[in-house]
Structure 1
Amino acid sequence: MTTTQRVDMGKQQPNAYKALLTLSAEAENNAVSAGLDPLLVELLRIRTSQINGCAFCLRLHTRDALKKGENPDRVAVLPAWRETGYFSAADRAALGLAEAITLVADGHVRDTDYADAAAVLTDDQVAAVSWIVTVMNAFNRVAITSRYTVA
């Protein structure tokens, strides 16, 4: 960890940060309206933050997931979700798509990744997962660039 002072993007330009918060709320509302479990929404946020190495968002969304009743075992094994029986077909489809979107530089979102998600999730759910992950990636970048502290 570095202690180099950084500009806090959210405080420096609060209207942009508020717009991101509004987008996040809209994405979450759309996810729930599409039939995605609110616990899955938190797991998507956690998995995205794990890939990006965002300690601030990991702490925040892990706490949120546990408060909402998520099983601590599912959170603990999330990086190895493919190796467990803890996740439903919908969870697996959403997590696979989340990883593909987050790792877009590793070959874009491959047709097979998208098809795997679309085989299990509705179009509305695919769009909702995509928005949740897109917004979470943006939050990760704000927190990491601004070096939000986790002490």
Structure 2
Amino acid sequence: MGKRINIAELEPAAYKALAGLESYLATTAINKTLKELIKIRASQVNGCAFCINMHTIDARKQGETEQRIYLLNAWREVDGLYTDEERAVLALTEEMTLIANGGVSEETYRNAKSFFDDNLLAQIMVAIITINGWNRMCVATHIQPAS
């Protein structure tokens, strides 16, 4: 892979704006486990090596188990490892990440809504939107994980 532009250096105000969403998310009621599951799963779907690496490290630091991290891309196939609430968020994450495949289904939306009030659901959606922004920046510019 050839070297590509560095958006943070070339357009620091744009980078700062995206980082501002992260600052906002730090103030929300989304628990840390859900935040990391969102970040890892969206990054897996988007094929963002940099973000997968970063967020699996962060998840481990917060006490996430290796098993749950390893099986996250097959969460639908595993019974009892993820809570119903986590499964609702993972489904929402996938559908929002793959938005061009038909959007967010009513079933997925209603299921998520059954676990979260409107404000928390909005916060979760912003978390999904934010990681997708980071993923797209990192994948498009070939940002590599630290070795």
TM-score computed with the length of structure 1 as normaliser = 0.90
Supply the RMSD in Å over aligned alpha carbons: 1.2
1:77 and 2:71 aligned: yes
Q: Which runs of 5+ in 1 are unaligned?
A: none
1:40 and 2:38 aligned: no
The Cα shift of 1:4 comes to 1.9
Partner of 2:123: 128
Q: 1:56 is matched with which residue: 45, 50, 58? A: 50
Partner of 2:19: 21
1:87 and 2:72 aligned: no
TM-score computed with the length of structure 2 as normaliser = 0.93
Partner of 2:3: 5
CA distances 1:95-118 after superposition (whole Å, capped 9, x unpaired)? 111111101010011222211111
Q: How many residues align?
A: 145
- C-alpha separation between the residues in 2 aligned to 1:27 and 1:111? 25
The Cα shift of 1:93 comes to 1.0
The Cα shift of 1:55 comes to 0.1
Q: Which moved more, 1:135-144 or 1:115-124?
A: 115-124
Identical aligned residues as a percent: 36
Partner of 1:119: 114
Report the AA paired with residue 57 of structure 2: R
- Please identify runs of 4+ aligned residues in structure 1 that moved more than 2 A: none
CA distances 1:89-144 after superposition (whole Å, capped 9, x unpaired)? 11111111111110101001122221111122222221111011100000001101
- C-alpha separation between the residues in 2 aligned to 1:88 and 1:29? 23
